[in-house]
Chains A and B, each alone.
Chain A
Amino acid sequence: DTEVTQTPKHLVMGMTNKKSLKCEQHMGHRAMYWYKQKAKKPPELMFVYSYEKLSINESVPSRFSPECPNSSLLNLHLHALQPEDSALYLCASSQVSGQGYEQYFGPGTRLTVT
């Protein structure tokens, strides 16, 4: 099973709402990632978790709050977002961080902030 699942597929939220994105993998991977992808652009790395610990934060605004409750789950908590945060949010996982291991991507959550 090389599947990364993400829920929900689509999310519309107001600027004062609090919502969460969920990502799950059952491949035994110990590294998990959040990316943001705007239309017609490549994915941009937001966060990296390695062995359930945050190892990279790409200077992401604090209105995005990641959480890794266990080795299979990754959440992204959203609060007080701006319309420019509307994008496709992709989760990925890899066996470990580094050493050339490929990342497996989920289908993404399409987020619209109104």
Chain B
Amino acid sequence: AQSVTQLGSHVSVSEGALVLLRCNYSSSVPPYLFWYVQYPNQGLQLLLKYTSAATLVKGINGFEAEFKKSETSFHLTKPSAHMSDAAEYFCAVSLRVGAQKLVFGQGTRLTIIP
């Protein structure tokens, strides 16, 4: 069964600093991978997704993620953090075959220090 692990339940970065949120997956074949963001009292918004077209995926709000099969990783980065980036971030995986059952990581709460 596929699973996803997010390293670090809380990450704090200074405004303007690099944001790096880590995600590792476990699957027998490379799955589809997603990053979602959740602001307080809101639903989830898709940041980006990997479906095998390109290993470096660019998303909204300046975020990008790189798929590394050898490391089974899909880390999320942003060169310069903004205060508005403070939120909960979820990495999610789904199988390539069968119904799209999204399995989420435990989430990483990103805090931006002014």
Interfacial residues, chain A to chain B (CB-CB below 8 A): 4, 6, 31, 40-43, 45, 48, 50, 55-56, 90, 92, 94, 97-108, 110
Residue of A nearest to B99 (CB): A97
* B43 located at the interface, meaning its Cβ lies under 8 Å from any Cβ of chain A in the complex: yes
Residues in A neighbouring B51, C-beta threshold 8 A: 100
Our pick among A42, A92, A108 for the contact of B106 (Cβ within 8 Å) is A42
Total A-B contacts with CB atoms under 8 angstroms apart: 60
Pull 24 A–B residue pairs with CB atoms less than 8 Å apart, ordered by A. Answer: A40-B107, A41-B107, A42-B90, A43-B44, A43-B102, A45-B102, A48-B99, A48-B101, A90-B44, A92-B44, A94-B100, A97-B99, A98-B98, A98-B100, A100-B32, A100-B49, A100-B96, A102-B34, A102-B49, A103-B46, A105-B36, A105-B44, A107-B43, A108-B43
Which residue, of B32, B102, B107, has the highest number of chain A Cβ atoms within 10 A?
B102
Residues in A neighbouring B84, C-beta threshold 8 A: none
Looking at chain B's contact residues, the main secondary structure is loop
Residues in A neighbouring B111, C-beta threshold 8 A: none
Residues in A neighbouring B101, C-beta threshold 8 A: 45, 48, 56
Report the minimal beta-carbon distance from A44 to chain B, rounded to whole angstroms. Answer: 8
Report the minimal beta-carbon distance from A109 to chain B, rounded to whole angstroms. Answer: 10
Give bound CA distance, A92 to B96, whole Å.
19
Contact B46 A102 (CB under 8 A): yes
